[in-house]
Amino acid sequence: MGQIKELSHNFIRKMLEENEVLYPYTKEKLQYFCEHISGGYREYKRNRSTAAGHKSLEEFAKEIIQAHNVKIKGEILDLKKNYYKQPSYIKKIIKDKCTSLISKNDPDHIFTYVNPKDDSRIDRLKEIINGYFSLIKNDNDGALNKQLIKRIIDQMVSGIRLMSVKHYADAFIIWRSLLENVSYLKVVNKGGTKTANLFVARKSETKKILGLSASSRAELDSINAQVDNRLKRRSATWWEKQRFAWAKGVLSSKEELSAKVLQEKMGLEKYYPHYQVASIFTHEHMLNEDDFVVISLLDYLINLYWRVFEEIRLEIIVIFAIKEEQLQSIKNHEESIRVLLKSSRENFETFANMIS
């Protein structure tokens, strides 16, 4: 193996985003990054594969320093001043990055083919979702709540892939549907077998309406009557009511059923303003990255995906009877992303208040 070229202090200096007045870029600090990143890169090179994407030393270093830039913002003052005197700090960042990259050598990893320049937080999301996916993928129980969870995992995979390649508008479209399915899962879990049966019956009716399954003459007449009734009323509210009729017994609400009502009744009302923002991308696609000033579009999306997934994370563990020892690696990544998201928490909350 050829000798790895060295990183320069100037290269490190350009990548760091600390307040240089408060936290000077001393030779000791710059050398700290040079030495540990070069050592981590040797480990990465020994174990990498072309399937998982190949980073140059400079790309690898940028990813490590980016992870540091995000992480250090949420740390206490003493650590901000002295982290470069603690090898364990940077080694943990490098270990997480190498583990994430190297794990994608596994052909069963759902994110094997990835963007080698992924944001560190997206890397964490990939490892978390791959972890849950690997634990539940072979469960063949046809229970509706398990089917919904697998659908949610699939949507997390789709959304994360879209964020990875910077297709942010499409990631909003997936997130909107993700939130709906999270609310459905909570309704089904609360309503039990009766609600699950009504949900499945709705699916059966939809297949008949679309001609995807056979139906009797009486059923076709009933379907046509419903369609005629909807056309005469020309009312989106009527359609919403029919769409969510399966949930009415659980909600016990006098309000006309809608996606908003389901979210409110299941404790997800704080996400509805974000659901409306996502709808702009779904129906109008007018906004873009340059329009987001309070919080970057990527920071916003990562927060939305992670926060909504956390709403049903414990339900996944319970429903699939996942054992504690199976969760250790996943929990490490979950702890990491919570730390990484500290730096964008205030901006997210500010934007949330603006749109509420």
In angstroms, rounded to a whole number, what is the distance separating the alpha carbons of residues 293 and 289? 9
Full pLDDT tens readout for the chain, 356 residues = 444 568 999 999 999 999 999 999 999 999 999 999 999 999 888 877 665 567 889 989 998 998 898 888 878 999 999 999 999 999 999 988 887 777 666 667 888 766 667 788 898 899 999 999 999 999 999 999 999 999 999 999 999 999 998 999 999 999 999 999 999 999 999 999 999 999 998 888 778 777 788 878 887 777 777 666 655 555 545 555 677 888 988 887 677 788 899 999 999 999 999 999 999 888 877 788 888 999 999 999 999 999 999 999 999 999 999 999 999 989 989 998 998 898 899 999 999 999 98
Q: How far is CA 290 from CA 39, 77, 161, 312, in A?
A: 38, 32, 21, 32
Which pLDDT belongs to residue 2? 44
Which pLDDT belongs to residue 145? 96
Q: How far is CA 277 from CA 22, 109, 175, 244, 288, in A?
A: 38, 32, 11, 22, 12
Per the CB < 8 A criterion, the answer to whether 124 and 340 are in contact is: yes
Reading the block at residue 314, the tokens are 């414990």
Per-domain residue ranges of the chain: 9-103, 120-355
In angstroms, rounded to a whole number, what is the distance separating the alpha carbons of residues 18 and 71? 11
Which pLDDT belongs to residue 233? 53
Length of the chain: 356
Reading the block at residue 64, the tokens are 């490590």
Which pLDDT belongs to residue 262? 92
In angstroms, rounded to a whole number, what is the distance separating the alpha carbons of residues 164 and 117? 8
The label of the residue with tokens 């059966």 reads: 204
In angstroms, rounded to a whole number, what is the distance separating the alpha carbons of residues 185 and 146? 9
pTM of the predicted structure, to 2 decimals:
0.76
